[in-house]
Structure 1
Amino acid sequence: MSLRFPDPRQRAAIAAAAKNAGVSVQDYLLSAAFERATAVEATFLEHFDSSVARSHEAFAAEPSGIDPSFERRAAEHEARRNLEHHGQGHAA
């Protein structure tokens, strides 16, 4: 991995931090990048879970309009099948 730092002070600070941690500069940067990525992922998942909970609450408010009964779904399926059947010119 080629590491280039335009700011020599930044390079020195990172090298010192890596030395204090007892790892190479590359390992230090990879660990920092991994920690940052997992923190971003954790934040995303936290917000996603909150969004799912809010959506669930909103959909649960009117279950009859959102999740029709089995009988209603079966009737709708049968009606759709009849329309498709008649739409193709077949006799019933």
Structure 2
Amino acid sequence: MHLRDGRTGGTGGTIGTMSQPKAMNLRFPDPAQRAAIEAAARQEGVSLQEYILSAAYARATAVETHFLEAFRASMARSGDAFAEAADTAGGDGERRAEELAARRGLEEQERGHAA
């Protein structure tokens, strides 16, 4: 990553060495939008950067929470479907046992004819 002053971002071969933190470069194409966000930050008693980062974090955690809730609901539906399938499989299990017994009977008949 190239920074505006010509340096490259990342560790740049100096693992373990931290560069000085830089302030966020915030650009707003709409001056009214910037003024509204600055006013909201002042009302919260925090810097503009902190307000924006907090809002981004809140949005990310809201998305994560929504995803996890949807995932849990999906898992519950899947569990219910598997449980329902297992309940109806009782008849299928009996049929499968009958099919296996019939197959064994046919195999025994074939061995008897081959002898």
Among all aligned residue pairs of Structure 1 and Structure 2, give the percentage whose two residues are the same amino acid. Answer: 62
Q: Aligned with 1:61: secondary structure? A: helix
Q: Which residues of structure 1 form unaligned runs of 5+?
A: 67-92
Large movers: runs of 4+ above 3 Å: none
Q: Which has the higher contact order (CA 8 A, sep 6+)?
A: 1
Written as runs of structure 1 = structure 2, the 5 A alignment for 1:69-88 is: none
1:64 CA drift (Å): 7.7
With structure 1 as the length reference, what TM-score do the two structures score?
0.67
Q: Give ranges in structure 2 of 5+ residues lacking alignment.
A: 1-23, 90-115
Q: 2:79 aligns with which of 26, 37, 56?
A: 56
Distance 1:49 1:4 in 2: 39
TM-score normalised by the chain length of structure 2? 0.54
Give, in whole Å, the separation in 1 of the partners of 2:34 and 2:64: 27
Which residue pairs with 1:8 in the alignment? 31
CA deviations 1:47-70 (Å, max 9, x no partner) are 11000000001111123899xxxx
User: Which of the pair is proportionally richer in helix?
Assistant: 1
**Does residue 27 of structure 1 match 2:27?**
no
